Amino acid sequence: MDAPATLVWVAPEPPDAQQANALSSWSAAYGIKLSRPAPGGLPHLPVDASVGDRVESMLRSARDAIAAREREQADRALDSAESILRAHPELPQAPWLMAEVERAKSARFLRIPPVDLEAAERAWLRAEALDGGRVPGMGEPEATHGHGPQARLTLELSRADGQAWLDGEFVGSQTISLPTRAGLHSLVVTRAGGPVWAAWIDVPAESSTAHPDTPVASACTADDLANVTLSPGAVDARHVRCQSWIAAFAGTQPGSVRISMCKDERCGPLLEWRAAAPWAAQTLAERGGKSRWPAWATWTAVGAGIAVTAGVLFFSLKASPLETRFVSGGLKTQ
């Protein structure tokens, strides 16, 4: 029985007919059954736009109650708005809305007896930490003792394809160190354009580090293999968890392919393969009684290892040029 392996074709376009034939002949010659990456991957967090509408409605109610000096109604509306936002950090406008909740609280402490100037200022500074601040509106206080304490936050993402968003602003991927203000912040990690992890984090003054507990894709799925790239003379397969997969891409000759056998993050030597001419394959099969084209007749050594994909899953990337090396004295396996 042929051994199974997941195939990843690393190229902007799928293999043409000759390349597909080369992959098929390689598969037959080495007794490896190539399959496409398993469907799916990490599901994106659902984002319900109506949540933001509900919060904005509650903010309007809170502001009306503050203007009318109705403390209980204002507190009820603000508590409900904050509770909803706490449950939905994935909402794109969540940090802005939370900042507006804090500013409404500031106005409430300022305008509804008993007045609490310190509480009003603390709420205003919490809002500023979230959205960077804005000009106070009518009836809103402005912080009188400067800004909230400065902080430096280091984010360490578990995967290179994750993108971090702090308070709705893109800040980078992998390890990022950035200045901010101490206080509550919204942190979202996206992959493939959608959120996969989201949370509110309390950032202390000075320096701290956050490690988003992002989910891990199942092995050999499209998401597991989505970040395979080419670099000079090697395949970059960081974070891949698939136990048996094949990296393939166009070879140096028309109809040829370059292939590397991989396990997890490690890929073996990169070799070039071309299918035998139909008449030659048929002649050898008739003479040898075998259907497989011998490996020595089709391999050309081309250097170190590289990445995968089947004529099934196609990743668009710009491949770095690889040096091709030929062995004198005939075609040999390397």
More confident of the two residues 63 and 269: 63
| pLDDT for position 333 | 36
Contact 213, 220 (CB under 8 A): no
Render pLDDT for 186-203 as a digit per residue (tens, 0 to 9): 999 998 788 999 999 999
The size of the chain, in residues, is 334
Contact 300, 332 (CB under 8 A): no
Residue 54: CB atoms within 10 Å = 15
Rounded to 5°, the CA angle 100-105-110 comes to: 125
| pLDDT for position 2 | 73
| pLDDT for position 6 | 94
**Average pLDDT of the residues in 280-303:** 46
Whether 216 has a pLDDT exceeding 60, the answer reads yes
Rounded to 5°, the CA angle 55-88-119 comes to: 60
H/E element, 107: helix 94-111
Render pLDDT for 133-175 as a digit per residue (tens, 0 to 9): 877 776 566 555 568 899 999 999 877 678 999 999 999 987 8
What is the residue type of 326? F
**Average pLDDT of the residues in 76-102:** 97
Lowest-pLDDT range of 56-60, 109-113, 277-281, 300-304:
300-304
Provide, rounded to the nearest whole percent, the portion of the chain with pLDDT above 90: 53
Whether 73 has a pLDDT exceeding 90, the answer reads yes
Q: 276: closest CA among 291, 259, 260, 258?
A: 291
**Average pLDDT of the residues in 114-123:** 93
Render pLDDT for 7-27 as a digit per residue (tens, 0 to 9): 999 888 889 999 999 999 999
| pLDDT for position 208 | 95
Contact 206, 177 (CB under 8 A): no
Please state, rounded to an integer, the average pLDDT across all residues of the chain. Answer: 81
Contact 260, 269 (CB under 8 A): yes
Band (218; pLDDT cuts 50, 70, 90): confident
Band (117; pLDDT cuts 50, 70, 90): very high
Render pLDDT for 307-332 as a digit per residue (tens, 0 to 9): 333 333 333 323 333 333 332 223 33
Lowest-pLDDT range of 77-91, 234-248, 320-334:
320-334
Which pTM value belongs to this model?
A: 0.66
CATH H-level, domain 150-210: superfamily? Carboxypeptidase-like, regulatory domain (2.60.40.1120)
Residue 314 burial by CB count (10 A; 0-12/13-18/19+): exposed, middle or buried?
Answer: middle
Distance between CA 295 and CA 30 in Å, rounded? Answer: 8
Render pLDDT for 265-289 as a digit per residue (tens, 0 to 9): 999 888 899 887 665 555 545 555 4
Which residues are bridge partners to 188 per DSSP?
Answer: 165, 198
Question: What ranges do the domains of the chain cover?
Answer: 3-41+219-315, 49-131, 150-210
Strands (E), the chain: 3-10, 32-35, 150-156, 163-166, 169-172, 175-181, 183-191, 194-203, 206-210, 229-231, 234-236, 245-250, 257-263, 266-267, 271-273, 299-301, 310-315
| pLDDT for position 286 | 57
